Every structure is written in C-alpha cells, then in structure tokens.
Structure 1
Amino acid sequence: MSKGDGLMRREELKDKLKTYMATIRLSGYESRMAYQFKADVEAYADHVKIDKLGNVIATFEGTDPEAPSLMVFAHMDVIGFVISRIEPDGFIRFERVGGISEKIAQGNAVMVGSEDGRFYPGIIGAKAYHIQSNDEKAKVDPFSTLFIDIGAVSERQVRELGIEVGCPITFAPRFVELLNDRIGGTYLDDAAGLVNLLQIASAIKAKPPKCTVHLVGTVMEEFNARGAMMAARSVKTDMAICLLGPGAGDTPDQKSVNNVVLGGGPAVTLFNFHGKGTLNGNIAHKGLYELLKKAAQENGIPLQRSAARGALSDTAYLQLENDGIPCLDMGTPDRYSHSPMESCDLKDLEQVGRLVAALIDSVDRDFPLHRY
C-alpha cells in the first residue's frame, strides 16, 4: 500500500505500543485500557461505545449495505493475579489469573491494586539461593507458597491503603528497545493487536471500505475467552478476525514447534485447539484465509502459517454464535508469551495492519460466508 493509504507508520506504532504496554489492565479490570483505547480510536471513528461488559466498539459504516460486516478485534486484558489473603505481618498471598507458570513468577516486580484504583509497587518474594537446600534449588515453588512484599509491616497498613482481598495485581510495566527493530516488555499480548486496530482505523478513515467494519477492544480473553462473543452479539457481525499472533518457533527451545520466525511477517493460525477441560479451538475459515492470502500476495507482504495445540482465542466461542460466524486468527508473532518480558518485531507489527487493511478493502457483497 502507498504512503497515501492513511496508515500509521512504524514510529507512531512504537510510541502507541509503549503506552499500551504500560497500561495496567488485568482481566476483569480493564477500565484504564478501555478508556484509553476509546479516546484513541475516536480520532478515526464516528461511532464508539463501551458495552455493558466493557468491550470498546468502534463502528465504520461501509459504502455498500449489501456487503457482509466484519469485526476485527484484539483483547485489552492481560494475565496477572488477584489477592487471596493478607497476612498479619503485611505480606500478600495471591491467585493467578490466566496462564502463568510458577517458573517465571518469583523475584518479579509487580503492581498491587487497591479498591479505589491506585496501584502500589511490590515484589514477588524469592528465597535467596545460598540459603536454599539442595532439594529447594531443584524444584519450582507452587503459587500457594508464594507471597508479595509491598514493604508493609502489618495487615492494618495494607488495608489502610485500600488494598483488600480480590484486588488486582499485574507485572510491573517494562519496555525495552532491542536490536533490529525489536521490542521487549510486559504485555505485548495483546497490546500489539490493539495498536493494529488503530492502524487499521486510520486506513479506513482515509478510504472507507464497502463492508461495515467494527474494530473492537475486548475484555476477559485471558479469563474465559468470552468477551468477543458478547461484542459480536451487540454488533451482529457476519464474520470476524482476531488479531493475536502465534508464538514464534525460532528460539533454541522452540525450533521443533513451528516455522514462524520474528521478522518473517504476519502469521495466520490455521488450527488451534485447547483440550485441558476446554475441548475447543478454531479451524480457519477457508474463505477468509483465501482472502488473506490474496491480499498478502497483491501487497507484497509475506505470510507465515501456524497450526498448534495447547492454546485458543476468543474465536473458539465466537464462531458458534448465531448460525455460525466465519473466523480467522492472525497477527504479530511473539516470543516468550505469558511471561513478564515478551518480544516482537516492529516490522511484523506494521505489516499486520497493512495486510488486514488490504483484506478489508477487498471485501464485497460476493464474499462467501459459508465454510464450503
């Protein structure tokens, strides 16, 4: 696409990514991110609302009322913790929210929320190496044994801050610029997708498409993967694209997993499945996938492919709404997902927005919604 396409450029994307990565937004407590994203997308859309559940919905009316509508979405929430107990000596016990491994928790800086919306810095305690037994050095401590230290000396001091059981905790925000246009830091999942939504909004503003488009920041993906489903009920979309890239398989520990690499361009997930009590996932809609491939080819954008077990997105439930909603998962590849320091390539991020904007521009009344 040309420089006249209205799309945000790489430096703009990086600045917005830094802002979103620093915005505290635990699943179920996304209000800061919701109001931030709403204010940002209002620069492009005439109709923006926050629904009852907390989803931010920006609607762009298409030029052809006969064309099917499309919802493009990214989740606003992140993984983290909630307070489960406050000890008499001021230490804080917690439960995890979303998929977090015990292996990456200890020794990390966190932000502990209060009931009035303020946040206080803390540390997930880690026993010093030189006082651990040999058995302790060889095992991972379960979450039930971990605690957070905010510097308080008593339970009373903690409660006087408005910190109570049920309050949110997230990893402390971090943002670092790595070599080769790569970024590291907290909660790229899914700050990257939210930035792409703004990028796409800027393109739609410059050139309205035939189809009506709903750009949505969704809630509670990390908790129950149902937020997008509720947004789709509100806008009654005909099809949907989830902006959530797969994990890259280019690190020493992942080279047998897939062919996705950082810097290799946008990646589409053709199959995902989560079987641990969920028994759900998504197989990419053929029509949307073919449209994505065509847009990539016509715009000279490389397209990577992924198929994996062990994970899912909101599309797992969204696809079952109404009489069936065609769905596709695609986005910016990342490394170290669901850890305190994730990583992505800004070149990939920029190309995702360009690719989805091109796909949107090609949707017309003849697009087949049926799977076959």
Structure 2
Amino acid sequence: MDDPAPSWPSLLGHLHALVEATGPSGSEEDVVRLLVQAARPYADRLDVDAFGNVIAVRRAEADTARRCIISAHMDEIGFRVYKIEAGGFLRLEKVGGLDDRILLAQRVWIRTESGERLLGVIGTKSAHLLGEADRSAVVPYASLYVDIGARSGQEALDMGVVVGDPVGFVGSLTELGKGSGRYTAHALDDRAGCAVLLGLLERFQHSPPPVTLVVVFSVQEEVGLRGVEALARHLKGDVALALDMTAADDTPEFTAAHLRLGAGPTVKVMDFSTLAHPAIRRGLLSTAQRLSLPVQREVLRGIGTDAGALQYLGQGVPTGAISVVNRSTHSPVEVLDLRDLEGAATLLEGFLHDLPDLELRFVALD
C-alpha cells in the first residue's frame, strides 16, 4: 500500500532551500532573497522594511475582515569575524545564544562581502596532544579559532575575509535513519516556521483567506526580538501569533518529558517573553479539538518568541504562539518531526477559519 500523500507537500522543499542559506542575526540578506522569491506569487502585497523584515499580505475578500499577523523568524544563531590573526586564523564573536560545549570541530561558512561563502573549521587540539586538564575543560568561545586554510592574515584578506563577516554552521536538511520522518539541520529554528508560513500562503493561492493574513518573516529574533519590535510600532492587527521552535526534553538526559517530538505542535501558555492571551489559547485549543489534532501545552520559561514583541501592537492585541518541538535546539544538529511541522500548519489554517467568530475579549463582562 502506498503512503498517503502529504497534507502539506511543499514544506520539506521550502525547508531544504531555506536551511542552505547562511543568515545569522543582522546578516539575513540571502534568506530575505529566498523568502521574497517564494512568497511573492501568493501575496497581494509584499514589502521588505529597513530592518530586513519581509511582510507578505494576503487580503480577505471583505475589507471589514479581521486582520491576523503571524510571524516566524528567519535569522539563525552564529558568529561574526572578530579578528584576523597574523597566522591567518579567525577569531569569532557570538551572535545569539550558543553553547560553548558544542563549538569545537564544527564546519562553518564565512560569508564575505561579495556574497561568496568560504568553508572553515573551528579548530580543536588533536587528541594526541591533549593534557589531563584539556580532557575535562570546556573551551570558552573567546579561545576558539577558525581555520580557513590561510597561511597569513594577508592571505585571509586576499580571500575576501574582513572583520565583521557573518559566520554560520554548515549543513543540509537530512532525514535521520530511514523513513523516520525526523529531520536534522542547523537553523531549523526558525526556518521551519518560515517554511510553514510559505505553505500557508500557498494554501490561499486560489481563494482568499477568511481573515486578512499578514505573514511576517522577521529578522534579529535571536538577539532580542528586534525585527518584530520595530514592526510592532506601526503594524495593525486584531490578533497576533508567533510560530517558532521549542525545546524537547524527551531524550535520555531528562527523567520526565514535558515536550515530546512527534506528539504534535504546542500551544503556548507561557515563556519568559509572553503570557499567551486566554482568548487565543482557548481558540487554538478549540481548533485543535475540532480537527482532532494532537497538541501539547507549552510552559517553558527558558525560551522567548516574537509573540513577546507582537503583543504590544497598537494599544495591545490578543497574542499567542504555536511552537514545533525541536531536539538539540541552538546547535548544528537540531531535530524535528515532520508530523509536528505539518500539525502546526494544519492548526494555523484551522485557526484562521475559526477566527472570524472567535471571542477575543480578555473576559466577557456581560
């Protein structure tokens, strides 16, 4: 018996393309180009603002329809070239939340000002040369260096490298095992969310959405929600949602799991950036129930999303978030389950159809 056709056939294709780009916070140009090209055919209006945020609008049939803003961020954690040493090695400065324990011996791209990408490796002391203290030490990122094969600082400059060049992990989207439906890559956080929003725009290619849909592919989320914070000062909407990744704790390091891979997308209850509006939380859970879609409730103080800035739109709007569970978050080997990704897309689409009749008041007083 053949496998059933995927409900969101374009998601993996979009995700394959998006994770190939190098775009740490503040250097998202290549990702912007990909998203503009992919979203333009499905948008009634498309803009790129001064920050680099891509805003795609698909209008409802009625001018009086509610307006829903959904944001997913395009930037990834990474580095900038901090110093070019006389011997040709590069020193790095972090961009976003990186764990020093995982940085040794990683392959990285250095994107030069010409747009060319140069391959480098974060060097590590040979196992044959380790002392006893080395074996139990975590090398701080300030001590790390990147080897691009240059024999001198001038040779590194001749390759096109300058101080400030963005640096990101190397990787492609690849399925784990065989037929697992689980995929690994760097920058799944949050290129996976961007892929879902592209799929959502495609869904309304031939008929308008039930509400005016404002899709935001945001920049600089990993360094403090800066892209959407700028948008929040002038965007108008009745409802706002963030679509992002969240951290699974279903691996052997943990004794009890709160969020599991493959158990469905999460409906945000709270994190450090926002407390989800009760009307949005109820609406999302009601949509999931109507669709018989498994979801998880997310309470995770150690994470934040664009929802934290979107809630300040205008005088404040009902705001919530949907997340896709992700193992090894903020690493070169993030892992997601395709069922969770498709579930997030299905939940968003269903919520948009339910939104015209959703009670949005914080509490009914009559």
Q: Same fold (TM over 0.5)?
A: yes
| Partner in structure 1 of residue 113 of structure 2 | 115
Within 5 A, what are the aligned runs for 1:136-285? Answer: 136-179=134-177, 180-256=180-256, 258-273=257-272, 281-285=273-277
Distance 1:334 1:39, change over 3 A: same
Q: Choose which of 44, 47, 53 in structure 2 pairs with 1:46.
A: 44
Compute the displacement of 1:11 (Å).
4.4
Maintained 8 Å contact 1:238/1:325: yes
CA distance in structure 2 between the partners assigned to 1:14 and 1:371 by the alignment: 40
Distance 1:357 1:165, change over 3 A: same
Amino acid at match of 2:153: E
Compute the displacement of 1:325 (Å).
2.2
Matched, 1:287 2:285: no
Maintained 8 Å contact 2:109/2:167: yes
| Partner in structure 1 of residue 14 of structure 2 | 16
Structure 2 counterpart SS, 1:214: strand
Amino acid at match of 2:95: V
Structure 1 counterpart SS, 2:171: coil
Compute the displacement of 1:321 (Å).
3.5
| Partner in structure 1 of residue 124 of structure 2 | 126
CA RMSD for the aligned pairs? Answer: 1.8
CA distance in structure 1 between the partners assigned to 2:253 and 2:363 by the alignment: 36
Maintained 8 Å contact 1:10/1:346: no
Compute the displacement of 1:366 (Å).
5.7
| Partner in structure 2 of residue 4 of structure 1 | none
Maintained 8 Å contact 1:125/1:149: yes
Compute the displacement of 1:251 (Å).
0.7
Compute the displacement of 1:23 (Å).
1.2
CA distance in structure 2 between the partners assigned to 1:75 and 1:23 by the alignment: 14
TM-score, length-normalised on structure 2? 0.93
Amino acid at match of 1:271: M
Compute the displacement of 1:64 (Å).
3.4
Matched, 1:71 2:69: yes
TM-score, length-normalised on structure 1? 0.92
Compute the displacement of 1:155 (Å).
0.6
Distance 1:38 1:367, change over 3 A: farther
Matched, 1:333 2:322: no
Within 5 A, what are the aligned runs for 1:288-327? Answer: 288-327=280-319
Compute the displacement of 1:157 (Å).
0.9
Structure 2 counterpart SS, 1:227: helix
Amino acid at match of 1:334: N
| Partner in structure 2 of residue 276 of structure 1 | none
Distance 1:330 1:320, change over 3 A: same
Maintained 8 Å contact 2:242/2:322: yes
Spell out, residue by residue over 1:269-298, the C-alpha distance to the aligned partner (whole angstroms, 9 max, x if none): 21101xxxxxxx111111111111111111
Compute the displacement of 1:265 (Å).
1.1
Count of aligned residue pairs for this structure pair: 358
Matched, 1:84 2:82: yes
Compute the displacement of 1:365 (Å).
6.2
Spell out, residue by residue over 1:158-212, the C-alpha distance to the aligned partner (whole angstroms, 9 max, x if none): 1122211111000112322114211011111011100110111122334423321
Matched, 1:352 2:344: yes
Maintained 8 Å contact 1:48/1:56: yes
CA distance in structure 1 between the partners assigned to 2:312 and 2:235 by the alignment: 15
Q: Which runs of 5+ in 2 are unaligned?
A: none
Q: Which runs of 5+ in 1 are unaligned?
A: 1-6, 274-280
Maintained 8 Å contact 1:67/1:363: no
Structure 2 counterpart SS, 1:106: coil
Q: Choose which of 90, 93, 102 in structure 1 pairs with 2:91.
A: 93
CA distance in structure 1 between the partners assigned to 2:260 and 2:207 by the alignment: 32
CA distance in structure 2 between the partners assigned to 1:31 and 1:368 by the alignment: 37
Spell out, residue by residue over 1:307-351, the C-alpha distance to the aligned partner (whole angstroms, 9 max, x if none): 012221122222133211221121221100001110001111111
Spell out, residue by residue over 1:105-159, the C-alpha distance to the aligned partner (whole angstroms, 9 max, x if none): 0000000121222110000001112211111111101111110000000111111
Maintained 8 Å contact 2:268/2:281: no
CA distance in structure 2 between the partners assigned to 1:33 and 1:369 by the alignment: 37
CA distance in structure 2 between the partners assigned to 1:215 and 1:254 by the alignment: 36
| Partner in structure 2 of residue 103 of structure 1 | 101
Q: How high is the sequence identity, in percent, across the aligned residues?
A: 32
Amino acid at match of 1:331: S
